[in-house]
Amino acid sequence: MGERLYNFGAGPATMPVSVLERARDEMLNFDNSGLSVMEMSHRSKEFETILHNADNRFRELMGVSSDYAVLFLQEVPVCSF
């Protein structure tokens, strides 16, 4: 691999190589499930575990109490003509 570039602008940023390598390794087989996360049913036990862990880690990181719901939503592009 060539020299790594760094993006200091707003939006997407440079990620540590270790994170990119883990994502690469788990792209075809997440946590030895035989599937990538993108292929899993959003109702499967494996995905429920991922969602539960993400919710717990987010709450801990941001100090969000159980009085609030955490919603994971996709970004919807806005187009105006």
Query: Tokens for 63?
Result: 């100090």
- What does the pLDDT read at residue 81? 67
- What does the pLDDT read at residue 62? 96
Closest C-alpha among 33, 63, 67, 64 to residue 50: 33
- What does the pLDDT read at residue 1? 61
pLDDT < 70 regions, the chain: 1, 10, 81
- What does the pLDDT read at residue 56? 97
The domain containing residue 10 runs over which residues? 1-81
- What does the pLDDT read at residue 4? 82
| Number of domains the chain contains | 1
Mean confidence (pLDDT) of the chain: 87
User: Please, are residues 12 and 6 in contact by the beta-carbon 8 Å criterion?
Assistant: no
- What does the pLDDT read at residue 43? 92
